[in-house]
A and B are shown apart, each in its own frame.
Chain A
Amino acid sequence: MICELVDVTKEYPMGELKVVALAGVSVGVDAGEFTVFAGPSGSGKSTALNLIGCLDRPSSGKVLLDGKDVATLADEALGAVRARRIGFIFQSFNLIPVLTAAENVDLALRLAGDTENRAARVEKALVDVGLQDYLHRRPSQLSGGQQQRVAIARALVKKPAIIIADEPTANLDSTNGEAILELMREMNERDGVTFLFSTHDPMVMSRARRVVKLKDGHVVGDERRA
């Protein structure tokens, strides 16, 4: 088990009231999985991903990464864990606009303090996503699909334990969305990269090997496919 939520709750204060985003969720992800969190809007998908991704801390319960509870780590330590062990892909790509494709990928290595042989690794990561001809383009000079490929290269380059992707295809048209998903699936099958993402999209769910269903902050289903 790479990472695991154990009886996790997450509440957001809303004035006098509290919004319960997760109400006692237990779910784990193994190495090599290609798993999607599915469920209606507001069901807690993003919240769960944030917690597994060490972007946030639970209100109660444990967040285990490689068997260790990270929920109690201080900011700096949590940041270091995140930088080394977790890759992120975001719905709106979120590349740094002033950096070229290669520099965006390089930034992930630098922030992780992983500086060995950077140039070659950056190039390989971009070649792997099919962008060998776009190394020195800025995000504004790339299409949405290309930007999301750069984001995948950025998440992959440091070889994280898991890549977390919150609705990675939501801002893409169906052709580009499918291509991106195909790319991720290929990396999963070929290199054993672990992916965990969230989606509303039935097409995306159909490509997943495991679908965890969320509703109102509870896990209401967990199916695996061959």
Chain B
Amino acid sequence: MGLLVSLAIRNLGRNRRRTLLTALTVALGTALLTMALAMLNGIFDSTIERGAGMVGHVRVVNPEYARREQLMPLSDNLPDPAPLVAAIQGQPHVLGVFPHIAMGVTAARDDQEIGEIFALLHGAPAAYYTDVLHLDKQLAAGTMPSTDKEALFGIALLEELGAKVGDKVVLLGQTQDGSPGRARLEVVGAVDLGNRMQNRQVWASLAKVQYVADLDVGATELLVQVDDYQEARAIAADLRQLPALQSLDVHAWDERAPFDAAGALIGTIRGIAASLIVFITGLGVLNTMFMSVLERTGEIGVMRAFGLRRWQTVGLFFVEAIAIAAIGGLAGVALGSPVVLFLHRVGIPLGEGASKLPAALPINQTIYPVLTPQILLTGFTLGLTMALVGGLLPAWRAAGIEPVEAMRHRR
């Protein structure tokens, strides 16, 4: 083994330019990979963390509501959430429990005819808006509401309404039994969530929306915030055992649409991006390693004649490929990290397209790549994989070199 390693290391220095070129290929591949993964991280992880908070890390609803949730059926509500909140509050890992109502409305400035401008109206406790959605940190203008008559409006909606902070807006919807429901709200704050669909929402007090929907003290959902959103499934499973929640639908964010599918989708996207880069870089390694094998056929034959085994031949080229990849991988990580860190500071604008995605998958128009130690490790590991991919065939070819090759007079 020591013999193979020392020979392989010597061979590295043999055609320095080629070795450097191969290492550079791996370095670029690794750097690209590091950047791609960090970018996907930037897009998805923050999106998911925020999205998971928005839809409730764990959500408790009427099973009938869960079945028809695209319609947001107000009639399938939780008529008396208080005892449920009391039961969930104080369970391990639970940070907060928020009754929530979401309903579709049409909106107009109070001096205008009601038109075709649709919006999503939320009713929830003020703490949900500050502690979970952090709307107070995303105010483009104005302040947080302090009374039931006041509400926050998304800037896209305000723009369509031609309204601004201080104006009064009338919202029209349907109560849970289908009769008209109406609210007149003062715009006290304009919210910019960085995404057009998301900016077409209204955030009012729970009491006001209960009134519009005629739900009395009821709500359609209980949104439970937990300390670690990635552990939500396990926590949901525990909450499901509570006697008070026996007949209700209790599920974690990633067990529900759209995130149940998104997790797998993101995994797939990552996988495809990584495989593509590994494959292409692997081809680069393959090319140069093949050249080396061809060039050294005679000399491998000589070593085979002197007793080198087939597996040792494979090992010889493999060690070389791995050494190149380790150098390239380290260089790539060293090359990619500063770029990622820089982009993390300045952000990458994604353009208008990103903002047309559905509100439940809110991708910011500017993304900030996030570098984690895990990405560095993955980048480096995949750098080695590039060498394995590219080194395998040439090494295998080298193993096929017969000892008689030693006798063929070349050179």
Contacts and interface: CB of A to CB of B under 8 A. Distances in A.
B346 interface: no
Interface stretch (B184-192, B306-314, B375-383): B306-314
B200 to A, nearest CB: 68
Contacts of A98: 7, 10-11, 13-14
A35 to B, nearest CB: 18
A111 B310 contact: no
A56 interface: yes
A96 B302 contact: yes
B3 interface: yes
Given A82-B305, A98-B10, A92 B411 contact: yes
Given A79-B403, A94-B298, A111 B306 contact: yes
B306 A83 contact: yes
Given A75-B310, A76-B309, A79-B309, A96 B406 contact: no
B407 interface: yes
Contacts of A83: 306-307
A166 interface: yes
Interface string A89-120: 01110101111000000011011110000000
Contacts of B7: 96, 98-99
B299 interface: yes
Interface stretch (A23-31, A46-54, A203-211): A46-54
A220 interface: no
Given A96-B303, A110-B3, A90 B403 contact: no
A55 interface: yes
B65 to A, nearest CB: 70
Contacts of A154: 306
B308 A55 contact: no
Contact residue range for chain A? 20 to 34
B407 A166 contact: yes
Interface residues of B, number: 25
A218 to B, nearest CB: 21
Contacts of B406: 55, 88, 90, 94
Given A94-B298, A94-B299, A99 B306 contact: no
A113 B402 CA distance: 20
A111 B307 contact: yes
A55 B307 contact: no
Nearest to A83: B307
A96 B299 contact: yes
Given A98-B7, A98-B11, A99-B10, A107 B306 contact: yes
Chain A CB count within 10 A is highest, among B10, B306, B409, for: B306
Given A55-B403, A98-B13, A110-B3, A79 B304 contact: yes
B410 interface: yes
A82 B407 contact: no
A92 B303 contact: no
A73 interface: no
Interface in B8-54: 10-11, 13-14
Nearest to A76: B309
Contacts of A166: 407
A179 interface: no
B404 interface: yes
A97 B410 contact: no
Contacts of B13: 98
A142 interface: no
Interface string A47-67: 001100101100000000000
Contacts of A90: 302, 406-407, 409
Contacts of A108: 306
A84 to B, nearest CB: 8
Nearest to B13: A98
Contacts of A112: 306-307
A49 B409 CA distance: 14
Contacts of A46: 407
A110 B308 CA distance: 9
Contacts of A82: 305-307, 403
B404 A88 contact: no
B407 A79 contact: no
A55 B404 contact: yes
Nearest to A112: B307
B305 A53 contact: yes
A99 B404 CA distance: 22
Interface string B290-325: 000000001100111111111000000000000000
A99 B10 CA distance: 8
Interface of B: 3, 7, 10-11, 13-14, 298-299, 302-310, 402-404, 406-407, 409-411
Given A96-B299, A98-B11, A108-B306, 6 more contacts: A79-B307, A88-B306, A94-B406, A110-B3, A111-B3, A166-B407
16 contacts: A50-B407, A55-B404, A76-B310, A80-B307, A82-B305, A82-B307, A83-B306, A90-B407, A94-B299, A98-B10, A98-B13, A107-B3, A107-B303, A111-B306, A111-B307, A112-B306
Interface of A: 46, 49-50, 53, 55-56, 75-76, 79-80, 82-84, 88, 90-92, 94, 96-99, 107-108, 110-113, 154, 166
Which 10 residue pairs of A and B lie closest in terms of their CB atoms, listed nearest first?
A83-B307, A111-B307, A98-B10, A55-B403, A94-B302, A111-B306, A55-B404, A92-B411, A56-B404, A91-B409
